[in-house]
Structure 1
Amino acid sequence: MRLVNRVVVPLRALLALLFLGLVVAQLLSMPGQLAHMAEQEPELAYLRWPLLTFAVLELACAQVVIVCTWRLLTLVREDHIFSEGAFAWVDAIVWAMAAAWLMLVVVFVYFTALIRGPGLPVLLFGMVLAGGVVVLLMVVMRALLRQATSLRTDLEAVI
């Protein structure tokens, strides 16, 4: 358990920094970057607000995952990770990741129809594939947590 405590503190520090970085990206970086794009390439200016909405929502999904991970770390530290309470946090992670993936699929379909060159569509397709793998991996991890929780409950009943 000491190892878990030594890992949880630095992981939480990194999660807090990541969350802060995402807030900065949502409030400053993305709006500024897309405003600059609209000024430099007026023919793409109509994409400014849809892309900003997409970026802010994608980053919000990442923030949900960070908050849920923070709470799951608390459950790990308190040795309550194999409880029914953990499933709400894991479900929120799965739903946030699924929402982010679906938005990415929509952007992929839109830009594939819009752009003639292969570069961006291929990159987006790779991101869609990787995102799908991560979402499905989280579903499998949730099933493993369910199985481990059931086994622990059965073991506690025997003892």
Structure 2
Amino acid sequence: MKSHVITALRVVIALALLGSVFVQTVMLTLAWRDIDDIPLAIRIPVIVIFFLEIVALQVIAVCIWKLLGMVRKGTVFSSSAFKYVDIVIGAIFAISALVVSHAIALARLNHLVLGDEVAPGVIALIGGFALVVAGVALVVLVMRALLAQAVRRDAEATAYKSELDEVI
């Protein structure tokens, strides 16, 4: 991968991380104040779920940052890359579970505070989104399997090269 592509991606990740910290510190505080008429039993979980989703995205960004460093050094096809990929997969699955939690919190909010039931279509849309997020985690899991295959092939090629060097 070209150096300028890695640099551009790192700039995007850095800006996203800065934006996420802004959302965690400023926007969630404003949201907390904005929904002060909602009971704490619902308000706390909603804000905590948003906070945890942002943390999971930050974890993913840091792992991708580390993987980009490995790409730059040419060491991405090693076993040390797996820990970062595994963390990304876990974080994506966590986001999927947190999205489901949002659907539950939304249903409780409307039922307890507003006295209305949430339209089934809204919950279905949120559930569908959670399913799509879980699908992204599965795609990354497939990519991990491809990385494992590439690491094995790289090790085989290194072994064949050393055997060939001995023969020569």
CA-based RMSD of the aligned residues comes to 1.7
Q: What is the TM-score when the length of structure 2 is the normalising length?
A: 0.83
Cα deviation digits, residues 28-60 of structure 1 (max 9, x gap): 10221232123xxx3x34422111100110000
**In structure 2, what residue type is equivalent to 1:143?**
A
Read off the aligned partner of 2:124 and give its amino acid letter: V
Alignment of 1:7-156 (within 5 A): 7-38=5-36, 42=37, 44-46=38-40, 47-112=42-107, 114=111, 115-156=117-158
Instruction: For 2:52 and 2:118, locate their aligned partners in 1 and report how far apart those are by CA, in whole Å.
Output: 26
Q: C-alpha separation between the residues in 1 aligned to 2:158 and 2:15?
A: 38
Contact persistence 1:12–1:70 (CA under 8 A): yes
Measured in 1, the distance between the counterparts of 2:46 and 2:101 equals: 12
Q: TM-score, normalised by structure 1?
A: 0.88
Aligned pairs, number: 153
Q: Gapped runs of 5+ residues in structure 1?
A: none
CA deviations on 1:67-95 (whole Å, 9 max, x unpaired) are 00000000001110100110111111111
Determine if contact 1:90/1:142 at 8 Å carries over to the other structure.
Answer: yes
Higher Cα radius of gyration: 2
Amino acid at match of 1:76: V
Q: Which runs of 4+ in 1 moved over 4 A?
A: none
**Is the contact made by 2:77 and 2:154 (CA closer than 8 Å) also made in structure 1?**
yes
